Structure 1
């Protein structure tokens, strides 16, 4: 893993795979608020995904936000947000025991609250502003195939119920093997000649959304606020350097901008902009596929819940497009990393979202038929696979995001490295970042924002060992 973490992180490539969510592209895809880059800006935000959009949104709520320039290397929202699986899911029970034991029960509770709040904030934002992003709050089900994962899930849910003492912890509900198979239509499967049995399931509230359309919608609202917000797409940030006179110089493929402060909303690409993050925010290429629903799926594939399928050291996640949405019934499924050779180690350190991993592609193509068994039915006459693509996530050594002012670099701020769970971490992390930027880093912020998310020298000095959520649990077969 050390070798993969040392691979120099590059800027986003010019010819990424085509994401389902960006077809058709937004009217803002190649937007430039002004023909040329402004020479100066109060704040430069690098990146136009959900984090960049959220930072801009929260800054614009300030009475005097100053001028804000957003720079995007490719088309708008063409990074992880526009390339994910569309899942808004606070699977806090899966990390709660680790956070509680490694840090404290109070911190574990704080993180769980933030994840739930962030998930709800996205759907509330979409509803309040009527953003056409197929926002669909709905139940979810984690189908668990590993005995150790099932034992861990049961104890974790019990621990959360006890810790929250009657306060809502996310509405977790446990289902037996028989209940999962009879009620939710999933099946035992066989993988590489070995039987994988359903052990049980965990149900709770989650949702689905087009992160691309949601983010583009937020950016549209930001642009409506006036000339203080300037969006410049197809503008690669090549370097960020200190200005001798104070502030920062942002060098791009289209010229140079001087800024009082810079925000890196760059997730897996962060080290390409600020080299101190090399080996600290490690890129990981993920893969997503859209399938046409099998004939046996109810409601034409518009299922009433989302799913995850959890096995030893890995999982897949699945959402179906809701009724009324473009592509209603389409099955969006992502994951498969643990089924790739070497458990996907060659995907770490990669920023090459212009290609796919054929092994993962083959696995994702077949897994829906295995998970639903006879309930999948016959494939669509047009074929099972509709499209597939890759995207670049960002991972940290300790499994937490980096949020705050880069140590020793006044005016250089970051909110990045969301471990593949950005849709339930990014929004509230951006809100916290703006509180810090605006001088409100106080006790009120500390009450709801986890201390372990804050960037420190000590955290940046840690060694990256891989995805913490992929570590084996006792009893795994």
Structure 2
């Protein structure tokens, strides 16, 4: 980022390196043109090269390859949360169905549930269509429960889901959830401490490789990508009599466009002072560790997929296993530990919290039991990433109120791989036609951030 002091809320220039980022991708430091094209009138400038920015650029150029699109990335390609998450791609927020229905109504809740499921299917189709090498695997995923109270609560949610599938024809496509209770759950999942679990089909992947390949395909269609070029300010302009309404200032010069698309997630407050003033977005630091499994876990059914673990030490953890044939075969990627420190209000991913790291290193032995786990394996890597939360758990997807040409898809609540690809489809539809798609949840409208002042209070929703 050019060195010097990092402005508050902006990306740190030297983040931790995630498990997925080794080795760096061939486009990590890509600059399509050696100099920043300051004399070009761009149709769109996309800020951020994660899953949201990559998907928006790819989808726009797939519709119209003649578009002039510039992407600015503050660090290396896909270096934000998209390149450092837990590796899941699953529709996991069905757990919030009853809460959402009570607060927002059944119609909007159903739109969200369908978007989340379609998001995973869309990514799977994208990977297949373009033969993307990102370790994409279909797996059985699980939500496992340690306490009777939470298990009884999820049983009510399962009943509500099945009732919705029966009553609403458009809900019939929602995928099946399989219930496992008591000893049957322990045996099926190899988790001796759980009282029950729910399983369904989902995916695991190397998210960094997925996003970098998406960027490559957009580059093939004409995208101009400029890495290590942080956007520092976005201001109105009447540039040289063109239709450009916005100037984006960087430390390499200024660029101009009619539309700015913010795919900046947790860093959005730094560039959008009006949004920052609402208090609607809360950044947070999340932490993950890659571990070798315990010596007694060979052949355990627990190591065949992915899982979210509810009520472990009063907070949800999650993990996946690197499947046979993949680099790092057998490694466990384990995230969580939020009960130790919430890490809210932090945008520095250049460090790990040593207390959370220590917890993550020993969490599997605690969860599975030291006898079942056996002698602990090596710690492969610790890393952090900056996630972003909203008070209602939904992202902001659409045009910023009273700022024509300023668009956003941000605030993914640690669940970007479950929402961002489909959200990008909605945003592209709005940008190109001026209309919201019928399937777009109105709950995503950015205008709600300005409807009232929000205190800085993030949600511990399920992590992706």
TM surpasses 0.5: yes
CA distance in 1 between partners of 2:410 and 2:374 (Å)? 41
TM-superposition CA deviations, 1:140-166 (whole Å, max 9, x none)? 111111333212210001101110117
Describe how 1:15-34 pairs up with structure 2 within 5 A. 15-34=14-33
Task: Please provide the CA RMSD for this pair.
Answer: 1.9
Alignment match, 2:350: 354
2:413 aligned with 1:416, yes or no? Answer: no
TM-superposition CA deviations, 1:263-317 (whole Å, max 9, x none)? 0000000011111222222101000000012222234999322111100752011
2:255 aligned with 1:257, yes or no? Answer: yes
Describe how 1:204-215 pairs up with structure 2 within 5 A. 204-215=200-211
2:165 aligned with 1:168, yes or no? Answer: no
Are the equivalent residues in 2 in contact too, given 1:109–1:164 (CA < 8 A)? no
CA distance in 1 between partners of 2:176 and 2:164 (Å)? 14
Large movers: runs of 4+ above 4 Å: 299-302, 457-460
Alignment match, 1:191: none
2:286 aligned with 1:281, yes or no? Answer: no
Change (3 A) 1:291 1:218: same
Change (3 A) 1:30 1:302: farther
CA distance in 2 between partners of 1:359 and 1:379 (Å)? 18
Change (3 A) 1:460 1:51: farther
Alignment match, 1:376: 373
Change (3 A) 1:65 1:52: farther
Are the equivalent residues in 2 in contact too, given 1:138–1:205 (CA < 8 A)? yes
Are the equivalent residues in 2 in contact too, given 1:43–1:259 (CA < 8 A)? yes
TM-superposition CA deviations, 1:339-393 (whole Å, max 9, x none)? x1xxx24x1110010111111111111110122223323333xx2x110100001
Are the equivalent residues in 1 in contact too, given 2:414–2:461 (CA < 8 A)? no
Q: After TM superposition, give the deviation of residue 199 of structure 1 in Å.
A: 2.4
Change (3 A) 1:440 1:319: same
TM-superposition CA deviations, 1:230-282 (whole Å, max 9, x none)? 00000011101111355100001111101111000000000111112222221
Describe how 1:266-277 pairs up with structure 2 within 5 A. 266-277=264-275
Which segment drifts farther, 459-468 or 399-408? 459-468
Which segment drifts farther, 262-271 or 322-331? 322-331
Are the equivalent residues in 1 in contact too, given 2:142–2:308 (CA < 8 A)? yes
Question: How many pairs are equivalent?
Answer: 442
CA distance in 2 between partners of 1:120 and 1:462 (Å)? 36
Are the equivalent residues in 1 in contact too, given 2:389–2:459 (CA < 8 A)? no
CA distance in 2 between partners of 1:437 and 1:404 (Å)? 8
Describe how 1:122-271 pairs up with structure 2 within 5 A. 122-165=123-166, 167-188=172-193, 198-225=194-221, 228-245=222-239, 246-271=244-269
Q: After TM superposition, give the deviation of residue 64 of structure 1 in Å.
A: 5.5
CA distance in 1 between partners of 2:149 and 2:305 (Å)? 25
Are the equivalent residues in 1 in contact too, given 2:190–2:301 (CA < 8 A)? no
Structure 1, unaligned runs of 5 or more: 1-7, 189-197, 472-477
Alignment match, 2:51: 50
2:366 aligned with 1:367, yes or no? Answer: no
TM-superposition CA deviations, 1:403-436 (whole Å, max 9, x none)? 1111000001000001000001000001100000
2:426 aligned with 1:432, yes or no? Answer: yes
CA distance in 1 between partners of 2:284 and 2:275 (Å)? 14
Are the equivalent residues in 2 in contact too, given 1:396–1:464 (CA < 8 A)? no
CA distance in 1 between partners of 2:232 and 2:45 (Å)? 14
Change (3 A) 1:464 1:208: farther
2:456 aligned with 1:451, yes or no? Answer: no
Alignment match, 2:4: none
> Partner of 2:259: helix, strand, or coil?
strand
Change (3 A) 1:326 1:421: same
Q: After TM superposition, give the deviation of residue 181 of structure 1 in Å.
A: 1.3
Change (3 A) 1:257 1:302: farther
TM-superposition CA deviations, 1:56-115 (whole Å, max 9, x none)? 011012236510000100010000000101011211331111111101112211111111
2:396 aligned with 1:402, yes or no? Answer: yes
Which segment drifts farther, 250-259 or 62-71? 62-71
Are the equivalent residues in 1 in contact too, given 2:365–2:376 (CA < 8 A)? no
> Partner of 1:468: helix, strand, or coil?
coil
Are the equivalent residues in 1 in contact too, given 2:236–2:245 (CA < 8 A)? yes
- Alignment TM-score, normalising by the size of structure 1: 0.89
Change (3 A) 1:459 1:314: farther
Alignment match, 1:311: 311
- Alignment TM-score, normalising by the size of structure 2: 0.91
CA distance in 2 between partners of 1:388 and 1:181 (Å)? 29
Change (3 A) 1:369 1:302: closer
